[in-house]
Amino acid sequence: MFIVDSYNLALVMCVITMICWGSHANMLKMQSKGYAYSYYYWDQAIGYFLLPLVLALTMGSIGDSGQSFIPNLAQADLSSWLWAIGAAFVFNLANIIFVASVDIAGMAVAFPVGMGFSLVLGVVLNYIAKPEGNLTLILAGMICVIIAIVINARAYARMNAKTDSVMVKKGLKLAIIGGFLMGLFYYLLQNSMPEVLNVESLSNIAGTGKFTPYSAVVVFAGASFLSNFIYNSYIMKHPFKGEPVTYAGYFKESARDHIIGVIGGVINATGTTFNIIASGMVGAAIAYALGQSNPMIAAIWGVFVWKEFKDAPQGTNKLIVLMFVFFAAGVALLTLAK
């Protein structure tokens, strides 16, 4: 399988993660008006599973290093399967709630708040489990991100003071809940792989009962898809907004809308897979922190493309700029942390 043995390449993959995780929700924005959020979520779940499977059968199965995808699945023990499946159920619940917050409150609000909380919790858990990197720089980077979150919340408050939107408030609450849950999944998934995820451990993974990053993400994505039959079935009957929908209605929607949703899942899964692959070289805490700095990317989309703050009171744009500055500083510090 292909093993990342370059720190610079690992950093590039983490930056790609940040871009993917901050951009995939754009597909939700591109859906036809009235297309049910729960239908979109089925579409993105398909793409979220297909991309890791393709990468596992290609990048995860080529070369002489490590262990190929299929043999690795066969030798993995029950605990590895349970860690990956558990991570999937936590992640999918978090993601459903979070993407709903994007649908309700917009990217510029939901991403900084939800992913900001996720970043803080995820980095703390992963650093405690695997203390890699300069703790001072990691903490400094996190502080910058937290400040950016506070600034974004202030910008939101100014906008909300004008619109007084009940739905936006609901979206903000969902972003916080989804963010806290999202902070747990990465730690759980890391436990399905070797404790030290580096070139040596991956080259000698056969017989250890642990997943390679490729296998871990496939099992994780597959279990995430299956959990939709519980989570998304409920959301279809009890939507966050709009009317309940049926499975029959899903198959009556346009191919265009379904394809857009699948592309959203592919983008999201590209970020997840690259981040897990790179985490062995840069450290789990740093890899997760860089990936979850994606609110800066999402806010760029929300502010400059979707114009979500166009009706905000005067002075709000200055807060948005300041938020970008602190997020950028946080990303820079985290990049230098190892």
217-241 pLDDT per residue, tens = 999 999 999 999 999 999 999 988 7
Structure confidence at residue 316 as a pLDDT band (50, 70, 90): confident
Q: Amino acid identity of 251?
A: F
Would 83 be classed as within a structural domain? yes
Q: What is the pLDDT of residue 53?
A: 98
Would 184 be classed as within a structural domain? yes
Average pLDDT estimate for 177-189: 92
Average pLDDT estimate for 103-120: 76
Q: Is 183 exposed, middle or buried (0-12, 13-18, 19+ CB in 10 A)?
A: buried
Calpha distance 263→273 (Å, rounded): 15
Calpha distance 101→151 (Å, rounded): 19
Check whether 184 has a pLDDT greater than 80. yes
Average per-residue pLDDT in the chain?
A: 90
DSSP string computed for 79-118: HHHHHHHHHHHHHHHHHHHHHHHHHHH-HHHHIIIIIHHH
Residue range(s) defining the domain that contains residue 93: 7-335
Place of tokens 């490729």: 214
Q: What is the pLDDT of residue 241?
A: 78
Query: Higher confidence at residue 209 or residue 316?
Result: 209
Would 2 be classed as within a structural domain? no
Would 1 be classed as within a structural domain? no
Q: Is 273 exposed, middle or buried (0-12, 13-18, 19+ CB in 10 A)?
A: buried
Q: What is the pLDDT of residue 293?
A: 80
Split into its structural domains, the chain has a count of 1
Q: What is the pLDDT of residue 323?
A: 87
Average pLDDT estimate for 14-34: 91
Structure confidence at residue 162 as a pLDDT band (50, 70, 90): low
Q: What is the pLDDT of residue 164?
A: 47
Would 140 be classed as within a structural domain? yes
Q: What is the pLDDT of residue 136?
A: 95
Place of tokens 């502010």: 303
Q: Amino acid identity of 298?
A: A
Would 163 be classed as within a structural domain? yes
Would 176 be classed as within a structural domain? yes
Would 245 be classed as within a structural domain? yes
Q: What is the pLDDT of residue 152?
A: 75
Calpha distance 337→284 (Å, rounded): 12
Among the residue ranges 107-111, 138-142, 216-220, 304-308, the one predicted with the least confidence is 107-111
Calpha distance 291→272 (Å, rounded): 8
pLDDT tens digits for 242-296?
899 999 999 999 999 999 999 999 999 999 999 999 999 999 999 998 988 887 7
